[in-house]
Amino acid sequence: MQFRDLPKQYEILKKKIDAAMVEVASTAYFISGPQVKELEKTLAEYVGAKHCITCANGTDAISIAMRVWGIGTGDAVYVPDFTFFSSGECPADEGATPVFVDVDSRTFNMDPEKLEEAVEKTIKGGKYIPKAVVAVDLFGLSADYDRIKAICDKYNLLLLEDGAQGFGGSIRGKRACSFGDISTTSFFPAKPLGCYGDGGALFTDNDEWADLIRSICVHGKDTSNPNDPNAKYNNIRLGKNSRLDTLQAAILLPKFKAFVEYELSDINQVASWYTEGLKDTNLVLPEIRDGFYSSWAQYTVQLPEHVDRKELQAKLRTVNIPSMVYYAKPMHLQGAFAGSDSAEAECPVTVKLCRTVLSLPLDPYKTKEDIDYVVMELKKALV
């Protein structure tokens, strides 16, 4: 069994994806081809943002946002403690100090109460200036933006939505990647909408920021006159080499069509089979609160404390069931932050989650029989 069955997806979309790749190869428009602009327009309309600017990967997307906002030394940026490393790495790489915030034990996302406590502590400490929040849409579920945005407004903080795992999710019909002052996503292959390599995008309604993003993505080029063929050789700021390849954009277009037409609904069906099948166990199951719709990047359960996770995973492997641990180590305990103020965080929920979480095989192409098999074998292994 595949953890996420990308070969099955390709088998179904093969004709359209192959044709898209051949078209790029035959035109040899490998960089900034028309498919890139088509994808940006399509995604902006879907999300409900004025601008979508693609880039090389989701990590670059966060870094570019930090640079647009001038985040740097002396600034505090608030990041959930339970997330992938890049959410904290990017502000730190710009010279800022990530302040790690504990998460909600059922949604896995940043706890707004703990966020406000962290901001107040920073203000009282007087060492750093609170500047921004990086709120992560973990495992497909949007963060609690009603409450987080209110805190950002209260303390004059910029809000970045890290929607790398949340693309396709929504809150009361408003789609992920539209909640931040700038929102970002990743097209890493295992993400809800993934390409066949690395890729990313930024979303914003701010025209000035959008121009800055476009400039930074291409070595800080002058974007004031897009029709000037020499503009890319007029570099007015330091930037990055961070563009989405035309080939990846071409692959994403048919994949996005499938994503909207049936993959989102199908993966929600698959997740519901897990929830129904596991409801009578002593596992803590993921919670989707009223008004929220998840894109289910992962189906993550919490094991009882007495269960040996490694032993459980080994048992599942013997019956051809893969599993993953996202994440085994809190952000504030990562070696990169050792000895820094970022390491001084009190996040007991995250610490417990890192001991107990386990992600099960999940994708839109799993059948009821697949899930019944995983549920049956998981129950046996837990005895």
* Cα 120 to Cα 99: distance, rounded to the nearest angstrom: 12
How high is the pLDDT of residue 153?
A: 98
Which residues, including other chains, have CB under 8 Å from residue 268's CB and lie 6 or more apart?
293, 294, 296
pLDDT higher than 90, residue 226: no
Q: Which residue has the tokens 């069994």?
A: 1
Average pLDDT over residues 366-376: 98
User: What whole-number percentage of the chain has pLDDT above 90?
Assistant: 97
Backbone torsion region of residue 104, taken as left when φ is above 0, otherwise alpha when ψ lies between -120 and 50, otherwise beta: beta
> Which two tokens mark 29?
């428009």
- At 266, the pLDDT band (50, 70, 90 cuts) reads very high
Q: Does position 128 have pLDDT exceeding 80, yes or no?
A: yes
Over residues 48-57, the mean pLDDT reads 98
Confidence of residue 229 (pLDDT cuts 50, 70, 90): confident
CATH class of the domain comprising 262-382: alpha beta
The angle at the Cα of 67, spanning 66 to 69, to the nearest 5 degrees, equals 70
As a whole number, mean pLDDT of residues 81-98 equals 98
Domain residue ranges in the chain: 6-101+108-256, 262-382
Supply φ then ψ for residue 24, to 5 degrees: -65, -45
pLDDT in tens, 269-296: 999 999 999 999 999 999 999 999 999 9
The model's confidence at residue 227, banded by pLDDT at 50, 70 and 90, is confident
Q: Is the confidence at residue 231, as pLDDT, over 80?
A: no
Residue 88: what pLDDT?
97
DSSP-assigned letters across all residues of 240-263: -B---BHHHHHHHHHHHHHIIIII
pLDDT digits (tens, 9 = 90+) for 292-310: 999 999 999 999 999 999 9
> CA-to-CA distance for 71 and 377, rounded, in angstroms?
48
DSSP code, position 239: -
Say if pTM beats, i.e. exceeds, 0.85. Answer: yes
Is-contact 148 115, C-beta < 8 A? yes
pLDDT in the model for residue 224: 85
Mean pLDDT of the region 343-350 = 97
- Give CA separation, 33 vs 28, 64, 136, 246, 349, in Å: 9, 22, 31, 5, 46
- pLDDT bin (cut points 50, 70, 90) of residue 17 is very high
CATH architecture of 6-101+108-256: 3-Layer(aba) Sandwich (3.40)
